[in-house]
C-alpha cells in the first residue's frame, strides 16, 4: 500500500491510500484551525473527512478486500500531528455508523456537537 498526499492549501491536506493502483481510502485533514477539547490550549489535526472504499467495509463485503484501511489513515493523521508538534492529538466528528470504530480505536467520545449536525465528537489526546 502507498499513500498519496496532496497539499491543497496551507490549511487542508488531502490523502489517498492506494493499493494495486486503486484508491482504498480517502482523508482530508485540517491542520491549523482546531483546538483540543481535552487540552484546550493545544492544537490538533482535525480529520475533516475519512472514507474507505465499499469493498473494504465489512458491512458490505465480508470478508473485505483489505482490512485496516481506516485505521491506517487515522494512524497517518496521528503521525502527521506529531510532525506538526501537536503530540499526536487528532479530532473528528463521526457519522453514526462509525462511532464504534472510533471508540475501539481508542478515541475519547466527547458527546454530541449541536454545531455539527448533532454528530458525536471524538479526540485522541497526547496521552
- Look at residue 34 in the predicted model and tell me its pLDDT: 87
4 or 13: which leads in pLDDT: 13
Entry pTM: 0.89
More confident site: 109 or 21: 109
What's the mean pLDDT in 72-101? Answer: 95
> How many C-alpha atoms does 118 have within 13 Å on its Cβ side?
1
φ, ψ of residue 28 in degrees (nearest 5): -120, 130
Task: Select 2-124's CATH number: 3.50.50.60, 3.30.470.20, 3.30.470.10, 3.40.630.30.
Answer: 3.40.630.30
What are the pLDDT digits (tens) for 11-63? Answer: 899 999 999 889 999 999 999 888 999 888 899 999 999 999 999 998 898 99
Contact 33, 43 (CB under 8 A): no
What residues have CB less than 8 Å from 69, skipping those under 6 apart?
17, 24, 25, 52, 53, 56
Q: What is the mean pLDDT of residues 74-98?
A: 95
Amino acid at each position: 500500500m502507498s499513500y498519496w498526499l496532496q497539499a491543497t492549501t496551507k490549511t487542508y491536506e488531502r490523502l489517498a491510500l492506494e493499493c494495486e493502483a486503486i484508491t482504498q481510502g480517502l482523508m482530508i485533514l485540517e491542520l491549523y484551525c482546531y483546538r483540543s477539547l481535552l487540552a484546550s490550549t493545544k492544537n490538533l489535526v482535525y480529520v475533516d473527512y475519512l472514507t474507505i472504499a465499499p469493498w473494504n467495509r465489512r458491512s458490505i463485503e465480508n470478508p473485505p478486500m483489505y482490512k485496516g484501511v481506516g485505521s491506517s489513515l487515522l494512524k497517518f493523521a496521528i503521525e502527521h500531528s506529531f510532525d506538526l508538534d501537536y503530540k499526536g492529538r487528532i479530532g473528528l466528528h463521526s457519522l453514526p455508523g462509525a462511532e464504534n470504530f472510533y471508540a475501539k480505536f481508542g478515541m475519547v467520545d466527547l458527546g454530541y456537537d449541536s454545531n455539527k449536525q448533532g454528530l458525536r465528537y471524538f479526540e485522541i489526546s497526547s496521552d
